[in-house]
C-alpha cells in the first residue's frame, strides 16, 4: 500500500476519539483520506483532528451518539454535504457495558449495550450505505473475539451477543452489498491496549466464571503481551485498500492466537 492509497477518498470512523477508532482515523488520514471523526466526546475528537492536521491530513469532527437516529442522520449528512461522497466506513464505536450473571443483569443494562454496539452499528450502516452505493467502497466492522470464537468472559452475555450479531450482519450484508461494489468485513480484536475497560461494569464474577487455568502467556504470539491499537489499525488499512479488493464477508481475528487458546 502506498502512502497515498486513499488520496481523494472520504472515510467515516465512529468512536474516533480514542483507542482503535483513533488509531484507524490517524492511519487512514496518513494514507490521504479525509476522515469524518464521529463520537460523543468533543475534546477527544478535536485532539484526534489536531493530530491528523499536524501530520498534514484533513478531516472534520462529527458529534453524535451512535445509538441516536437523529444525531447520526445529521452527522453523516454534514459529512456528505462537505465531501459529496463516502468511500470507507469503520464502524468501531462500542462499549463493554455491564458483565453480570444473566439473572442479575438488569434490562436497562442489557438494553444499553445493545443500543450502542448493535443499534449503533445498524444506524452507522443505515445512514452510510445509501451514499456508498453510488461509488462502492469498504466497510469495516469492529467485532471481537468474544461472541465469535471466545465465550469465557464471565457475565459478558450482552456484549458477546452484540459482537456475534455484528459478525452475522457482516456476512449477511456481504451478499446484499456486493452487487453495489461495497465490501464489508469484520475485525475481531483480542486483548488490545485501549481504554474500553473504563466503560466496563462487572458484578458477581465468581458466579459466572468457569474455573480454568490458562497457561502463562495466553497470547501465544507475544508471550502474553496485549496487542496495540496500531496492530488493529493496520488491518483496517488493509481492508480499506485495493489490496483487499476481493475480500468480503470475512472475519479477521487480531489477537495473537489468544482466541484459539481460550
Active site residue 163: yes
Dihedral sign (CA 66, 67, 72, 75): negative
Measured CA to CA in angstroms, residue 150 lies from 122, 161, 261 at distances of 23, 12, 9
Q: Cell numbers at residue 126, please?
A: 443505515
For the chain, the first-to-last Cα distance in angstroms comes to: 33
Active site residue 159: yes
User: Which residue among 163, 204, 205, 242 is the active-site one?
Assistant: 163
Which helix (H) or strand (E) is 4 found in, with range? Answer: none
User: Of 109, 90, 89, which is closest to residue 100 (Cα–Cα)?
Assistant: 109
The two beta strands, 97-99 and 200-202, are parallel
Calpha distance 238→225 (Å, rounded)? 23
Burial grade of 215 (CB within 10 A; 0-12, 13-18, 19 or more): exposed
User: Of 22, 10, 4, 2, which is closest to residue 142 (Cα–Cα)?
Assistant: 22
Catalytic residues: 159, 163
Amino acid at each position: 500500500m502506498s502512502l497515498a492509497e486513499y488520496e481523494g477518498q472520504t472515510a467515516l470512523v465512529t468512536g474516533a476519539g480514542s483507542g482503535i477508532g483513533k488509531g484507524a482515523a490517524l492511519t487512514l488520514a496518513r494514507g490521504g483520506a479525509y476522515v469524518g471523526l464521529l463520537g460523543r466526546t468533543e475534546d477527544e475528537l478535536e485532539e484526534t483532528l489536531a493530530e491528523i492536521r499536524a501530520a498534514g491530513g484533513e478531516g472534520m469532527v462529527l458529534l453524535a451518539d451512535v445509538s441516536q437516529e437523529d444525531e447520526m442522520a445529521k452527522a453523516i449528512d454534514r459529512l456528505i454535504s462537505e465531501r459529496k461522497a463516502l468511500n470507507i466506513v469503520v464502524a468501531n464505536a462500542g462499549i463493554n457495558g455491564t458483565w453480570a450473571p444473566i439473572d442479575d443483569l438488569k434490562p436497562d443494562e442489557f438494553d444499553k449495550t445493545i443500543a450502542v454496539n448493535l443499534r449503533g452499528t445498524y444506524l452507522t450502516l443505515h445512514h452510510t450505505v445509501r451514499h456508498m452505493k453510488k461509488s462502492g467502497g469498504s466497510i469495516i466492522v469492529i467485532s471481537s473475539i468474544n461472541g465469535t470464537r471466545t465465550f469465557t468472559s464471565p457475565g459478558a452475555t450482552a456484549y458477546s451477543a452484540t459482537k456475534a450479531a455484528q459478525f452475522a450482519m457482516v456476512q449477511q450484508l456481504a451478499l446484499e452489498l456486493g452487487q453495489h461494489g461495497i465490501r464489508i468485513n469484520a475485525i475481531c480484536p483480542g486483548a488490545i491496549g485501549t481504554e474500553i475497560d473504563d466503560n466496563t461494569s462487572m458484578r458477581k464474577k465468581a458466579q459466572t466464571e468457569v474455573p480454568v487455568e490458562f497457561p502463562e502467556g495466553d497470547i501465544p504470539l507475544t508471550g502474553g503481551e496485549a496487542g496495540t491499537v496500531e496492530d488493529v489499525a493496520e488491518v483496517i488499512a488493509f481492508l480499506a485498500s485495493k489490496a483487499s479488493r476481493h475480500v468480503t464477508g470475512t472475519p479477521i481475528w487480531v489477537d495473537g492466537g489468544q482466541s484459539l487458546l481460550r
